[in-house]
Amino acid sequence: MISIRLPFVGQCLALLLLLLICSWISLFSWSVITITPMDALHALYDMNAESIAQHIVHDLRLPRVLIGIMVGANLAAAGVIMQGLTQNPLASPSVLGINAGAALGMATVSTIAPWFGLLGTSAAAIIGGGIAWAFVMLLGSAWRGGNEHGRLVLAGVAISALCAALTKAVIIIAEDQAAGVLTWLAGSLTDARWHTFDALWPVCIIGLLGALFIAPRSIYYSLATIMLATLAYRLCG
C-alpha cells in the first residue's frame, strides 16, 4: 500500500483549500429558496439589491461562515496553547472545566443582570471559565509538573460536574430567562449577522496574535511529544 505524506506547509495549504471549498458550498446549498453558485458569487462583489437569493447569501450566510471560521480558529489555538502551558496532552476546555465554568458565569449574569447584554455575558463567561480552570489546576497539582494526567482529569471532571449542577440550579430558579440561557449553552450561528462579526473580529484577531506570541512553547511541547512517540514506536517495532 502506497502512502503519500505531504510536508507541514502542504498539509496546511490542503486543509485551507478544503475549508474554502466547504465555505463556498455552504453559501448556496441546503436552502428553501433556490440559490445558484452565480448568485453566491454576485453577492460577494456585485450584489443585486432586488435579488432575494443574493440578500440571503450576503446578509445571512456569509457572516455565519466568517464567524464560524473565526470561532473555530480561536478554539484550535486555545487548545494548542492549553496543552503546551500545562504540558498535558489531555488538556482541553471540556476536560479542564472551562466550558462548564464559562456556562455558569454566563447563566448567572444572564439571569441576575440580563441588561448587561452581549458584552456582560461574554465577560462573565471568560471570568467563569478562568476561575474554573484555576480551581482545576490547583486541585490537580498541575503547577508542580510531573505526570499527573489522571489527577488533573479527575479534578476537571469534579469541577465540571459542580459547575453544571450550579448552572442547572440557576436555570431552575430563574425560569423566565431559561430559554435565553439554553440558547447560549447550546451554541448557534442562527442569529449571527454582520454586527456580530464587527463586534467579534477585533477580539479574535487579538486572541490569535496573542496565541502566536506564546505559541513557541506549545509547539516545542507538541514536537517533543511526537518525537517521543516516534522513538517509542521504533524501539517497540
Q: What is the predicted pLDDT for the residue at 226?
A: 56
Grid cell in block for residue 18: 478544503
> Closest by alpha carbon to 184, among 116, 102, 115?
102
Q: What is the predicted pLDDT for the residue at 163?
A: 93
User: What distance in Å separates the CA atoms of residue 39 and residue 50, rounded to the nearest whole number?
Assistant: 12
User: What distance in Å separates the CA atoms of residue 132 and residue 160, rounded to the nearest whole number?
Assistant: 8
Using only the alpha carbons of the chain, give its radius of gyration: 22
Grid cell in block for residue 184: 447560549
User: What distance in Å separates the CA atoms of residue 24 and residue 16, rounded to the nearest whole number?
Assistant: 12
Provide block-wise average pLDDT over 10 residues at a time, the chain (237 residues). 62 86 87 84 82 87 91 84 70 80 89 76 88 87 61 85 91 78 79 86 87 67 58 60
Work out the burial of residue 21: count CB atoms within 10 Å of its CB; fewer than 13 is exposed, 13-18 middle, 19 or more buried: exposed
Q: What is the predicted pLDDT for the residue at 1?
A: 43
Would you say 66 and 205 are in contact if contact means Cβ atoms under 8 Å apart? no
Q: What is the pTM of this model?
A: 0.74
143: Cβ contacts below 8 Å, ≥ 6 apart: 137
Q: What is the predicted pLDDT for the residue at 237?
A: 56
Would you say 217 and 84 are in contact if contact means Cβ atoms under 8 Å apart? yes
Q: What is the predicted pLDDT for the residue at 46?
A: 80
Would you say 174 and 116 are in contact if contact means Cβ atoms under 8 Å apart? no
User: What distance in Å separates the CA atoms of residue 89 and residue 149, rounded to the nearest whole number?
Assistant: 8
Residue ranges of domains in the chain: 88-188
Q: What is the predicted pLDDT for the residue at 147?
A: 55
User: What distance in Å separates the CA atoms of residue 89 and residue 143, rounded to the nearest whole number?
Assistant: 15
As a 3-state breakdown, the chain gives helix, strand, coil percent values, each rounded to 5, of: 80, 0, 20
